[in-house]
Amino acid sequence: MSVRLRRVICGVAIVAAAVTTLLAATLSAPASAAPVTALLDPAAVKALIDGRAALGLPAEVADYGVDEQSGRLVVELTGSRTPAVDALLSGVDPNVLDVRTDAPAPRHHAAAVKGGDTIISGSRRCTLGFAATARGRTWLLTAGHCTRGSGTWSVETAGDVLTPIGSQARTASAGTDVGVVPVTGSGVQVRGLVGSVAVRGSTPAAVGSPVCLYGSTSGRVCGTVTGLDRTVNFEGTIQYGMTATSICSAEGDSGGPYITSSGQAQGIHSGGGTGRGCTSYLTPIGPALSAFGLRLLTS
């Protein structure tokens, strides 16, 4: 091959490389090089921004969409406009945009957990009692015969959706039918409520006082306190220091909270008897909390 021919081939290669570089630069040029006017087709602007959003949205953007009346792209920001937002909107005709600030930041709502909710672990179905705290951690009280040997617990919310609460539940020593589940699920928001009643304290109710049980099977059922400091024989399992009530309960109510109309927590449901009327038994809230060194969560 002659020297002249080699020079020609080399020159062609250089020109081709330059054209390729120029073409790549043109294709990757910022959108500002060609402003997008979409007043006649507002969906085109949104499609453009959607394509950019697929690579990541600035944290300041709450939402955006086309306003049907004005035909402009409304962009809601949680704060002021930043360079990242400018980059997202680059190349779009300002007349097409309506950028607004100080919008609330959207968040997914966590499962709101409260006393009386149904909690499930495998084939076990019990009731959530009260929420309590200790050492910067939140715990949920229920019956000890529910937590003994259990695995991961979930709470049943609207639409029979199960949201994980946590695992590694603890059970009090024999004679006290109380267990606790640590709240480790990220989608759980614990409230100091029993049903719609705010938990205000834990003043014990006297014999004859009205009290209500919230069970996952029975719902809200009410009666009166009929006895204090009872030793109860649950089919050979002895429980001490229990409070007796005239409330009728059912399977699945175990662990449910007893509370007064003024929001005073009374205790955790253990079981009941049938026959002449109804009798239900609860572990008083004081011993239930002290068994684990917990503090009642109030509203």
Q: Which residues contact 186 (CB under 8 A, 6 or more apart)?
A: 110
Q: What value does the mean pLDDT of the chain take?
A: 84
- When computed from its CA atoms, the radius of gyration of the chain, rounded to whole angstroms, is 32
Question: H helices then E strands: how many in the chain?
Answer: 5, 21
Q: In the structure, what pLDDT confidence band is assigned to residue 50 with cuts at 50, 70 and 90?
A: very high
Given a cut of 80, whether residue 26 has pLDDT beyond it is no
CA 140/CA 161 separation, integer angstroms:
19
Query: Quick one: pLDDT at residue 116?
Result: 94
Strand partners, 188: 111
Options 254, 269, 270, 280, the catalytic residue: 254
Query: Quick one: pLDDT at residue 27?
Result: 35
**Mean pLDDT along residues 77-86:** 92
**Catalytic site includes residue 290:** no
**Mean pLDDT along residues 73-78:** 91
**DSSP structure class, residue 25:** H
Cβ distance 225 to 205 under 8 Å?
A: yes
Highest mean pLDDT of the ranges 44-58, 133-147, 261-275: 133-147
Q: Which domains does the chain have, with CATH numbers?
A: 34-107 (3.30.300), 111-296 (2.40.10.10)
pLDDT in tens, 257-292: 999 999 999 999 999 976 667 999 999 999 999 999
Query: Quick one: pLDDT at residue 169?
Result: 94
Given a cut of 50, whether residue 29 has pLDDT beyond it is no
Q: In the structure, what pLDDT confidence band is assigned to residue 109 with cuts at 50, 70 and 90?
A: low
- Tell whether pTM > 0.75: no
Query: Quick one: pLDDT at residue 111?
Result: 65
Given a cut of 50, whether residue 75 has pLDDT beyond it is yes
- Cα angle 186-148-285, degrees, rounded to a multiple of 5: 75
CB burial of residue 295 (10 Å; 0-12, 13-18, 19+): exposed
Task: Classify the phi-psi angles of 102: left when phi > 0, otherwise alpha if psi is within -120 to 50, otherwise beta.
Answer: left
- Cα→Cα distances 3→13, 15, 104, Å: 16, 19, 71
**Catalytic site includes residue 145:** yes
pLDDT in tens, 205-264: 999 999 999 999 999 999 999 999 999 998 888 999 999 999 999 999 999 999 999 999
Number of C-beta neighbours around residue 235 at 10 A: 5
- Cα angle 202-207-213, degrees, rounded to a multiple of 5: 55
CA 270/CA 255 separation, integer angstroms:
6
Q: In the structure, what pLDDT confidence band is assigned to residue 298 with cuts at 50, 70 and 90?
A: very high
Options 121, 150, 177, 218, the catalytic residue: 177
Options 117, 121, 145, 253, the catalytic residue: 145
- Cα→Cα distances 139→151, 190, 202, 213, Å: 15, 9, 17, 20
Helix (H) or strand (E) holding 85: helix 83-88
